[in-house]
A and B are shown apart, each in its own frame.
Chain A
Amino acid sequence: MAWMTRAKREHLAPPQKSLDRCIRCDRTLGRPARIESLGLQLKRISPYRQMRLAELAKHRHRHDVRRRNVKRGVIERATTAKPSGFYSPPRYARKLTPPEHFDFDKDAEGVLQWLNFAFNQSTDIIRNRRRRRPSKRRSLARVKGYYDFTKIKTMTPAAALIVAAFFDRHRQLAGVPIYVYDYDRWDPQVRETLAQVGFFELLGVPNPASQPAPPNSTKIERFTSEGRLRPGEVGRLIETLLGYILAAHPGCLSDEQQIERTAKLFGALIEATENTRFHAYPADTHRGYGTLPNWWLTGSVDPTQRRLTLIVYDQGISVPGSLASYRSSKWPGHGWINGIIRRFSKGSFDPDDTIADHAKVRLAMKMGISSTGEEHRGKGLPVVRQAITHCDRARLHILSRNGAYLEETGKRAVSWHLKSPMIGTLIVWDLWL
C-alpha cells in the first residue's frame, strides 16, 4: 500500500465491517454519528477517512463504557493465577458472579443459568479464536471477564464436575485455559472440592496449599474424561470408593453385598458412558461450535453418612434431544405418544418442544427407548435405574436439557421441567450403604 498515492488509497472501497451499532448498548456508532455531526462537510471526506473516523468513535465509545462500568463496580480489580505459579498484578476485569450454592438440590436454576451463560461465552471465544490468526504475543494482558468464585459458599461434587468439564472443554477447544482469580479468597470447602476433582490440574496452576483433610471428610476422586469406553477405569473407581467406605466402617458390607453392589454400579456406569458414545454426539448435529465428544466421570464418598456418589456427565445433545422427531427414532411408543398429544392439542403440539423433555426422560428411563430403533439396542437406560434398586436407601438424579428426573428407593419417580436447560446430560447416583 505504501507505493499508492493518497488519491488512489482514498478511492479504494472501505473494508466491509459492521461498525454501525454497539454490541452492548445498541447505540448507533461510527460513521452515521460522525456524518450527522459533520453536516455539510460530508462531501469532502473520503471513504478511507470515514472508516478511520468510525474506528476512532468506536474506540472512544468503548473507553466510555469501560469507565462507566468501573464506576459502577461491574469491573473490578482481580489477581490472576498464572500457570507459572506467580500472581499477576491486579487488573480490571468484568466480574461474572456464579450462585452462592453450587448445588443441584439447593439451586439448580442458579447453577444452570451460570453454566449456560459461561458456556455461551466460552463458545464465542472458541469460535473467534478459530477465525483469528494465531497471535505471537503470549501474555495474559487482555482480561475481559472472569468468574468470581469468591462468592460461592458450597459446592457439591456433581457441580464441581460440571465446572471442571466446562473448563476442560474450553481448554481443549480454545487451546488456552480460562484462568482463575483471587483463589486465595475462595471458600476453603469450595477450593478443596475443586482441587480434589482435579480442577487446578486442568488449568495448569499449582494446587493451593490446603490443610490436611480430617479423617472423616468427603473424599472425591479425580475426574476421568474420555471419548471411548474405559471399563477398567470405571471398575477401579467403584472399587476405590467402596474401599473408602469399608475403611471407615469395617464390616458394613459383606463380601456378597460388595460384589453385588460393584456389579450393579459397574453395569450402570458402563451403560451411561456407552450412551454418551452412541447417542450424545451424533455426527449430523451442528451446534455452531466445536464439540468435545467426551464423558466426564467422578465419584465421592462421605464416610460420616456412608454415602457413595457417582457422577457421569456429557455435553451432548441430551436424552430428549436424541429422541427428537426429526431423528430416525423408530421406537413405536415415541410416535404414538406424540400422536396422542398432538391430537388432544389440535395439532398445536410441537413434539420437539422442550416443555416435554422431562416426560421424555422419564419414558426413556422406564421403557429403554433406543434412538437407533434397533431391537437389540436401547436396553441401557433401565439398567442405569436398576443400580439404585439393591440398596435400602438410594437416589438417582438426572438432568438432561430441560428435563429433570428423580427417583428414590421406596418412592415414586418424579420429573419436572427446568427453566434453564442443562447442557448435555448429568446422571448422579447416591447410595447410602
Chain B
Amino acid sequence: MTSSASGTGNADLTIVVARDFSRYPGGRYEADGDFSGEAFRNEKLLPALRRGLATGHVVIVDIDGAAGYPSSFLEEAFGGLVREGHFGADQLARALRIKAGPLFESYRLLAEKYIREAKPRKLA
C-alpha cells in the first residue's frame, strides 16, 4: 500500500480514506477480509498519529468519497486506538480530526463516539 498521510513540514497530516486506503472499507479484522478497520488503523492511522504527535500536527482523516462505512470498521479503526492502548481518548481529541461532508456526518459522529466509549483493554 502507498503512504497514507500526505503533506510534510507545517502542513497537517491528511488521510483521505477513499484515495489512500480503499473506496470500499471492509469489516473489523485483517484476517476476515480485505480493507479492514484493523488494517486501516495499523497501516494508516497509527503511523500518521505517531508522526503527528512527534511534530505537533493534527492528523485529519477525510472520510468522504467511500461507498460507506460498516460500524465494525469504524469501531475497530477509531475505537481500537484507545482499546488497544495506543492513545488515550483525550490525546486523540487533540491529535485527530475526522472530516466529513453532510452525507458522511453520521459516520464522523459514530467514529467519535467509538473513541469516547472505548475502554483500554486490561492486561492479563
Contact = CB atoms under 8 A, between A and B. Distances in A.
A231 B72 contact: no
B104 interface: yes
Interface string A274-309: 100110000000000000000000000000000000
A339 to B, nearest CB: 27
Given A235-B67, A380-B70, A270 B27 contact: yes
Contacts of A236: 24
Interface in A209-249: 228-232, 234-236, 238-239
Contacts of B26: 229, 231, 270
A38 interface: no
Contacts of A256: 103
B33 A229 contact: yes
Contacts of B114: 376
Name the residue in A231, A274, A380 with the highest tally of chain B Cβ atoms < 10 Å from its Cβ: A231
B2 to A, nearest CB: 17
A278 B104 CA distance: 27
A232 B34 CA distance: 8
- What secondary structure prevails in chain A residues at the interface with B? helix
A367 interface: no
B68 A376 contact: no
B71 A239 contact: no
Contact of B72 (A232, A274, A375): A274
Chain A interface bracket (under 10, 10 to 19, 20 to 34, 35 or more): 20 to 34
Given A238-B67, A239-B67, A260 B103 contact: yes
Interface string B32-68: 1111100000000000000000000000000000111
A22 interface: no
Nearest to A233: B24
B78 to A, nearest CB: 11
Interface in A128-164: none
Name the residue in A239, A264, A273, A376 with the highest tally of chain B Cβ atoms < 10 Å from its Cβ: A376
A260 B90 CA distance: 31
A263 B69 contact: yes
A259 B26 CA distance: 17
B95 interface: no
B70 A270 contact: yes
Contact of A277 (B32, B66, B67, B71): B32
Contacts of A260: 103
Contacts of B23: 235
A229 B75 contact: no
A369 interface: no
A122 to B, nearest CB: 28
A375 B120 CA distance: 12
Given A229-B26, A232-B24, A265 B32 contact: no
Nearest to A264: B68
B103 A376 contact: no
B116 interface: no
A380 B72 CA distance: 7
Contacts of B28: 274
A379 interface: yes
A266 interface: yes
B108 interface: no
A260 B103 CA distance: 7
B24 A231 contact: yes
A231 to B, nearest CB: 4
A376 B69 contact: no
Given A229-B32, A235-B23, A379 B72 contact: yes
Name the residue in A229, A230, A234, A377 with the highest tally of chain B Cβ atoms < 10 Å from its Cβ: A229
B25 A263 contact: no
Contacts of B79: 376
B33 A230 contact: yes
Name the residue in B24, B28, B36, B70 with the highest tally of chain A Cβ atoms < 10 Å from its Cβ: B70
B99 interface: no
A376 B83 contact: yes
Contacts of B35: 231-232
Interface string A358-402: 000000000000000001110110010000000000000000000
A142 B34 CA distance: 44
A377 B83 CA distance: 12
A266 B33 contact: no
B98 interface: no
Name the residue in B33, B66, B103 with the highest tally of chain A Cβ atoms < 10 Å from its Cβ: B33
Nearest to A239: B67
Contacts of B66: 263
A273 B118 CA distance: 24
A274 B68 contact: no
Given A274-B28, A380-B70, 8 more contacts: A229-B32, A235-B23, A235-B67, A264-B68, A266-B24, A267-B69, A274-B32, A379-B71
10 contacts: A229-B26, A230-B34, A232-B24, A235-B67, A238-B67, A266-B70, A274-B28, A274-B72, A380-B72, A383-B70
Interface of B: 22-28, 32-36, 66-73, 75, 79, 83, 103-104, 107, 114, 118-119
